[in-house]
A and B are shown apart, each in its own frame.
Chain A
């Protein structure tokens, strides 16, 4: 559907686009982190592309990624402990051309930093804060990067696969209850 967008990106940026895929009607481009802001600005300002609306921003923690059974085209290989752990996904929409595109950036656990797209689309402000809150991905250039869903006293990043689901960090409990609660 939006294969022309991927072609235009590859034509302009060459090897900054590591991989492109098109599955289930979605076009995805894996880009190098260093060129992210340039690519995003091109996507927004070029009149033939005009991706003016932000859709979502999230991240995927690949540390437990071991797919089973038939793998659809474009799915990533099993995690081997060496490749980058996090995959930050941005989805953009074009109001005039009714198209969507997904940008993906791989970041490592040691340096989970990505350039922020909030200066380009203010709609990503809270979504990037949410990704920081849940996964610990830092966004450089974000005007106000702090936790959004959880409280400041919370330690850890809960949506990472190594955070146990039921590990609570209570702020207040009744003093007359006995035992572990």
Chain B
């Protein structure tokens, strides 16, 4: 027995073990590779650890760099919509709306979009925000061992996917918004279905909160972990639920309102401690606020306050109606020019920002007078948030990376563009 101990612990004398002595230790490099079970896209973290404690972490993104900017330079303005869908693929409508608003700003159409289109844009954006937060909370809970909330929240997300599929044609990557409006109108019977589902979603949220909020294991793993101070959050450019959990009251919908948000009533949840548990609470509360926003919009639509066309009638921007395109030569040529050459956007540059699921999502577009942008840069919130990951992780255990990473909600498509 003494020989075994000597062999294993490198001691010459078994009596050494009885004395108070620190075991020799050195820093170890551990690789959390690009493919790892935390289902949050692909990121590589090269950790330098002292036992279980993280000393340094080198976060390496770029494993999903799909060259959004380069593709955008070769595609017409309408062809870029599918690329924007795949940026933040859990809340694709918000990306669509942000990009459409940037192009409209260059065209001078801000504020001239039909009222019905604005209402529909806000409704689908907020539904997308709900799916984003449901996925984030569900996946993070599953990674901490709570499998049931994952299934409940995914069931709720499935209902929303079916409804979004009815309005846009696709479950996930919708490409629904167009420059100047939206592409299809609300189908019949959609609004009552949506209202009925909201009741069920609220019930699912109640169940999920009952399982997680008071759960000692969940709280121990999330509370006090990954604290970011408010001053750091500002200097590092954090926005969205992470910044709000640190106490920074910044929401693009309230501070720089766009679309019809000035007419709607909602609250912005702001946290206090800046740890993972606060981020989780902020997200749950934001789901409830989004439900409130959509219900206000639906009430307005039902009341008839948002009747009208869903697309602007500016001929330089909108496709002609199909009856004209098939029957008159001028409309057919206009249709042809729009599809092949794209919407001609005057030379200039503009930066537009919306409140994405993760924070301030901005599009910086440089137009050069042709139908293809000269540069289309996407200011992605996940990229900025991930850059703080190594500072947040410092001093925590390896197991704490899971809630930190989950609550940062790094979406690979948005981070790596």
Contacts and interface: CB of A to CB of B under 8 A. Distances in A.
Interface of A: 23-26, 52-56, 58, 60-61, 64-72, 74-75, 89, 91, 95, 98, 100, 102, 121-127, 130, 134, 147-151, 158-159, 165
B360 A55 contact: yes
10 contacts: A26-B351, A54-B237, A56-B379, A68-B368, A71-B348, A89-B364, A102-B351, A149-B62, A149-B416, A165-B67
B67 A158 contact: yes
Contact of A75 (B70, B347, B379): B347
B379 A72 contact: no
B388 to A, nearest CB: 8
B348 A23 contact: yes
Contacts of A151: 62
Given A91-B351, A148-B62, A158-B67, A69 B344 contact: yes
Range, interface on chain B = 35 or more
A68 B384 contact: no
B70 A56 contact: no
A65 B238 CA distance: 33
B61 A65 contact: no
Interface stretch (B207-215, B260-268, B276-284, B370-378): B370-378
Contacts of B386: 126
B65 interface: yes
The main secondary structure of chain B at its interface with chain A is: mixed
Contacts, number: 115
Given A98-B256, A148-B61, A65 B374 contact: yes
Interface string B58-84: 001110010101110010000000000
A98 B106 CA distance: 22
B360 A68 contact: no
B218 interface: no
A68 B67 contact: no
A126 to B, nearest CB: 4
Contact of B235 (A24, A69, A123, A148): A123
B349 interface: yes
Q: A-B pairs with the 5 shortest C-beta distances? A: A123-B237, A72-B348, A68-B369, A67-B347, A149-B62
B62 A56 contact: no
A58 B346 contact: no
Contact of B61 (A60, A67, A149): A149
